[in-house]
A and B are shown apart, each in its own frame.
Chain A
Amino acid sequence: MLDIQNLKVVFGTGRLRVEAVKNVSFHVEQGAAYGLVGESGSGKSTVLRAICGLAPITGGRVTVNGEAVTSPRSKAFYRTVQMVFQDPYASLHPRHTVDSTLSEPLAIHGEKDAESRILQALREVGLGPSFRFRYPHQLSGGQRQRIAIARALILRPKVLLLDEPTSALDASVQAEILNLLDDLRRRLGLTYILVSHDLAVVAHLCERLLVMQHGEAVEETTAAALRSGAASNEYTQSLIQASQGFTRAAPQPAQAPAA
């Protein structure tokens, strides 16, 4: 479904030149969920932004459904690939009601029967029709993220790019959103690419994942291997350790020779 070969993203020139992503390659099957994991600044979000055209592709190839993407992306691309952003407080227009947020993509693509599509989209993300004419400030963080997911799904895309979709939410709402995403994937046959620094989230949602550090791919592994704690790479090991929480190093037994 999605194939990425030697992707390279460079920002700026001269002294300001930053290589955000260096030669990252991976392949995602249709209907699969693929995770990108790494610390802040490892370039995982940049990979997503490069796929959907928000960041430049400096080198390499991005292929969606067997076709290389064009710059600027075509309308057909946006019907296939959609994105959910990290911060639901920033990704909804503050002056637009839920209704106008959801009807915008339909209007752009000239879709008919907006009315029923909007109500259906709301139902899909577990919100009732009573939410339709609310403004973002009348919604909670979890509800906003549901609206953002509904907006991404309303064009019936095949690939959903998820940029840390739960990191701005509190723990109980995180679980709700993750379950919703899991459920939607199975029902609609979606392909996910999930970016997260949280190994638990990735292990919950994805089958395979890529560990990134400093813009480079470190290791490709499976969620099952991650859960069992098997990782060949040192950096992955340290991530696993970090996800298990902070443990104080065992106090060293006093070995000072009596003097």
Chain B
Amino acid sequence: MAGAPPFPQPSGLQAWLLSAEPNSRWQARLGRGYLGWRSFTKNPLAVLGLAIVILLVLVAAFADFIAPYSPIVGGDLRTERLLPPSETYWLGTDDQARDIFSRIIYGSRITLFVVILVSIIATPVGLLVGTVSGYLGGWVDTVLMRITDIFLAFPRLVLALAFVAALGPGIENAVIAIAITSWPPYARIARAETLMIRNSDFIAAVKLQGASTPRIIMGHVVPLCVSSLIVRVTLDMAGIILTAAGLGFLGLGAQPPMPEWGAMVATGRNYLIDQWWVAAMPGIAIFVVSLGFNLLGDGLRDVLDPKAAK
């Protein structure tokens, strides 16, 4: 019976990653990450979502090399307006004789800018408000949660409209408006998670070591809230893109001639029947990217938040 081992042994890197006895902090963390990646890749739709998001990032990064024409300067207005998709203009041209494909490529930058900025502003605010109010409880909790309720009571698009109307239209103001209206749900999630965590023994243990409240919140409570927030933010990104597009559509977001997808749909509205591609192409782009973020968020939920998984 001497000879082949009963199980195939994992080779070099994989064995190192899956080692039950990591030799360093980094090996332990990478091993965890690898396990998460393995369960993530088991879900093909999630991988598709990730691929779409990566594609969006790459397109935004290399827009200068990908786009065949300028997104802002149009061609000959007499001969090149509203041309249907062809070999020269892959997705056709719009009413200013601009190549729609190039505009969508450049528009990905604006979309990515909005999504990243909103999540950078809204997530930390929501996380901080939620964990502080959940951990401290008492009147701090009451005050912070009532503030959250007030922000939650505003309809998102209407508050964004009011905000943009006050500050003037523009993509930056749209971002601020969206961020202001999107943090309250994150605060609620973080608070709910914190309420579950705060009475657990490991928090009591670190309290008994003399840790200060900020230290407990930042070092022990926040890491446990982050994963469910990441999931929620990723799932919200589609909504953020749509709100930004909606503001653009209403003429309150990105201003012409910026190639913002929502604004592009808005211009296409005038030619919807005869030149459908003007509105449809950016619409498809919005749809695909939103779908990508949703699929990614679903996959992340299965990996990061085992409670919510089926």
The verdict on B140 contacting chain A, using a C-beta distance below 8 Å, is no
Task: Check if B224 sits within 8 Å of A94, measured CB to CB.
Answer: yes
Main DSSP-derived SS at the B contact region: helix
**B307 close to A (CB within 8 Å):** no
A108 to B212, CA, bound (A): 8
Q: Which residues A47-102 have CB closer than 8 A to chain B?
A: 52-54, 73, 75, 78-79, 82-83, 85-87, 90-97, 99-100
Please tell me the number of chain A residues within 8 Å of chain B, measured between CB atoms.
35
B4 within 8 A of A: no
Are A130 and B204 in contact, CB atoms less than 8 angstroms apart? no
A181 within 8 A of B: no
Contacts of A96 in B (CB 8 A): 220
> B23: which of A87, A108, A109, A133 is its contact (CB, 8 Å)?
A133
User: Which residue of the partner chain, among A78, A87, A91, A99, contacts B25 with CB atoms under 8 Å?
Assistant: A99
Residues on A with C-beta less than 8 A from B220 are: 93, 96
A134 CB within 8 Å of chain B: yes
| 25 pairs, A vs B, C-beta closer than 8 Å | A52-B208, A54-B204, A54-B207, A54-B208, A75-B210, A78-B209, A83-B208, A87-B201, A90-B202, A91-B202, A91-B204, A95-B223, A97-B28, A99-B28, A108-B210, A109-B209, A109-B210, A130-B21, A133-B27, A134-B20, A134-B21, A135-B32, A138-B20, A151-B205, A151-B209
User: 9 closest Cβ contacts across the A-B interface?
Assistant: A78-B210, A91-B201, A133-B22, A130-B21, A133-B28, A105-B209, A90-B201, A93-B202, A85-B201
Chain A residues with CB below 8 A from B215, complex form: 108
Query: What chain A residues lie within 8 Å of B201 (beta carbons)?
Result: 85-87, 90-91
Within the assembled complex, what's the spacing in Å between the Cα atoms of A100 and B219? 10
A96 to B222, CA, bound (A): 12
B79 at the interface (CB under 8 A from A): no
Q: Is A155 in contact with chain B by the CB < 8 A criterion?
A: yes
Residues of A bordering B, CB below 8 Å = 52-54, 73, 75, 78-79, 82-83, 85-87, 90-97, 99-100, 104-105, 108-109, 130-131, 133-135, 138, 148, 151, 155
Residue in chain A with minimal CB distance to B29: A97
Interface string of B198-240 (1 = CB under 8 A from A): 0011101111111110010001100110000000000000000
Considering the complex, give the chain B residue whose CB is closest to the CB of A163: B201
- B9 contacts the other chain (CB 8 A): no
B88 at the interface (CB under 8 A from A): no
Q: Would you give the shortest CB distance from B36 to chain A, in whole angstroms?
A: 12
Known contacts A109-B210, A130-B21, A135 near B205 by CB under 8 Å: no
Q: Are B208's CB and A104's CB within 8 A?
A: no
Residues in chain B near residue A131, CB distance under 8 A = 21
Contact for B205 among A91, A109, A134, CB less than 8 A: A91
